Amino acid sequence: MSIRRNLLLLCLTLAGFAAAQQPLSTKWNAPHNGNPFIPGYNADATVLQDNGITYIFATEDPWGGRTLSCWMSADIVHWSSCSLNWPTKEAATSPTSKNSMVWAPSVIHAPNGRYYMYVSVGSEVWVGVADRPLGPWSNALGDRPLIRADFDRRYHMIDAEVFVDTDGQAYLYWGSGLNWVNGHCFVVRLKPDMITFDGEPKDVTPGHYFEGPFMFKHGNAYYLMYSEGKTTDDTYNVRYSVADNPFGPFHEGATSPILVSDKEHDILGPGHHAVFERNGKTYIVYHRHSLPFQTASVLRQLCMDELVVDDAAHILRKVTPTHTGPALLHTSMRDAGQLPVTATASSTTSKDFAEGAVLDDNYATRWQPSADDKAPWLVLDLSKPITGTTARVTFEYAWKRYRYRLEGSLDGTKWFPIVDQTGDGASGSPTEFPSLPRVRYLRLNFAAGTPASDLAIFEWNVYRSQ
């Protein structure tokens, strides 16, 4: 191993050690926060771990899209968006789904070897099947849903969640209420084909239930977790009930609710969660409101914190929601190898959306130009000319197509083209530009006419070539 590589590893180790010694930030806009751990606006997440890769499937905010949000990571720290061919509003719809979008997936690698996704479209549940996590997916039941809207008109037929017990038996939980009240939870066994009910559904609604059921088994206890309150405000929370079998009866846990808003520290509306295990620890993934809070449109982001299960007492410990996230989000620093740069912009909509936000390694903050900026641009200064760097841009929405030119300069006056996306634009997250020519300045010049409301950037990092 070279002396240079030894020195680099030592520097990174010391940097990580120093970061670990610093007190954890309680401010939502502090640099290097681990939560949100995925950029953009996502809700109602499900977690699938498969062959060393962790996948997140989630609702696109605001209030669902024509498909789902999808992300993948090998280390839970660095995430890339991925595309799905299914579900879409067009492929998974019926006369009873009306105009509602695609919501709240649950994905599992079933005992029969295939992958199944249960997803809400309107007030009905559709099932997709695939041979790989990213598909191609197809309707498992042709042109009909698994659970129709008229199963019980008193409740919403949404938020389906699949659970496979240790004996290989699969169960499906689902259900919500109307007008933010009277939520009901149903469960049914699934046959090995994962798309046929094995018996009649049973109402197992526990106390204080509204929506978002999630079942997991720990030790010999079954924990039915769920959300209560309104996802549009700070009343949303996570509760749980316990039983000795998947059908109950369920008794609310002594420590419920376990995850609630912390308005003092700007954590609002945590809920509709998933649970997964990694390296002997249990984690809860949930959505909460983006900041600064916007009343006109509810935008939610995905966060993660540790969940502790007390097997002896059959309780879940209360979760402290954080801006930093659990230790696993810091085991490899997102900004390791990042060059020190400064940012300037054509404008900013307010101090909460200043250009410095693209350099803070925090997905809760972003730069956004002012509403009257007709030709927005953002410039990074690398402090000196450098050859062969890699730039990585994390736009606000992974699925939107952004139209821009990436330009370079040695003096900040004369600019030359590097990449032109002013035609059809480009989507995806993050967007990477490797092996850049010798530059000191980089400029993202957005196409004329781009509305400022359609443009924001979470992060813009520049790395020295390895």
Domain boundaries, the chain: 42-329, 342-464
Residues 6+ apart with CB under 8 A from 95: none
Residues 6+ apart with CB under 8 A from 37: 76, 77, 79, 302, 303, 304, 325, 329, 363
What is the pairing mode between strands 342-345 and 404-409?
A: unpaired
What is the pairing mode between strands 186-190 and 170-174?
A: antiparallel
Q: Any bridge partners for residue 267, and if so which?
A: 262
**Residues constituting the chain:** 466
**296-to-29, 60, 125, 461 alpha-carbon distances in Å:** 21, 17, 29, 31
Query: Could you tell me the two tokens for 101?
Result: 């979008």
What is the pairing mode between strands 69-73 and 53-60?
A: antiparallel
Place of tokens 């998933």: 274
Question: Which 8-state DSSP code applies to residue 176?
Answer: B
- Nearest one of 360, 356, 362 to 329, comparing CA atoms: 362
Angle at 123 between CA 118 and CA 126, to 5 degrees: 25
Residue 245 · residue 189 · CB < 8 Å:
no
- Nearest one of 71, 68, 69, 90 to 81, comparing CA atoms: 71
**End-to-end distance of the chain based on CA atoms, in angstroms?**
15
Place of tokens 């038996």: 169
- Nearest one of 214, 237, 217 to 225, comparing CA atoms: 214
The pLDDT value given to residue 6? 36
Backbone angles phi, psi at 9, to 5 degrees: -65, -40
Query: Could you tell me the two tokens for 35?
Result: 């939560």
**Looking at this protein, which amino acid is placed at residue 81?**
S
Place of tokens 């990571």: 73
Tell which CATH classification among 3.40.50.300, 3.90.600.10, 2.115.10.20, 3.30.390.50 matches the domain 42-329. 2.115.10.20
The pLDDT value given to residue 8? 32
Q: What is the DSSP string of 47-86?
A: EEEETTEEEEEEEETTT-BSS-EEEEESSSSS-EE---S-
Active site residues: 44, 211
- Nearest one of 253, 373, 377, 369 to 318, comparing CA atoms: 253
Residues 6+ apart with CB under 8 A from 448: 374, 375
Place of tokens 């002396």: 3
Angle at 395 between CA 463 and CA 66, to 5 degrees: 140
The pLDDT value given to residue 335? 57
Compute the distance between CA of residue 323 and CA of residue 265 in angstroms, rounded to an integer. 9
Query: Could you tell me the two tokens for 39?
Result: 């950029």
Whether 342-464 and 42-329 are alike in CATH topology: the answer is no
What number does CATH give the domain 342-464?
2.60.120.260
Coil, helix or strand for 46? strand
Query: Could you tell me the two tokens for 200?
Result: 């009649």
Q: What is the DSSP string of 189-249?
A: EE-TTSSSBSS--EE---TT--EEEEEEEETTEEEEEEEES-TTSTT-EEEEEEESSTT--
The pLDDT value given to residue 5? 33
| Side-chain half-sphere CA neighbours of 66 within 13 A | 5
Angle at 77 between CA 72 and CA 78, to 5 degrees: 55
The pLDDT value given to residue 334? 55
What is the chain's pLDDT, residue by residue, as a tens digit (466 residues)? 333 333 333 333 333 433 333 456 789 999 999 999 999 999 999 999 999 999 999 999 988 989 999 999 999 999 999 999 999 999 998 887 778 899 999 999 999 999 999 999 988 999 999 999 999 999 999 999 999 999 999 999 999 999 999 999 999 999 999 999 999 999 999 999 999 999 999 999 999 999 999 999 999 999 999 999 999 999 999 999 999 999 999 999 999 999 999 999 999 999 999 999 999 999 999 999 999 887 667 899 999 999 999 999 999 999 999 999 998 886 544 556 788 899 999 999 988 899 999 999 999 999 999 989 989 999 999 999 999 999 999 999 999 999 999 999 999 999 999 999 999 999 999 999 999 999 999 999 998 777 777 799 999 999 987 6
The pLDDT value given to residue 14? 34
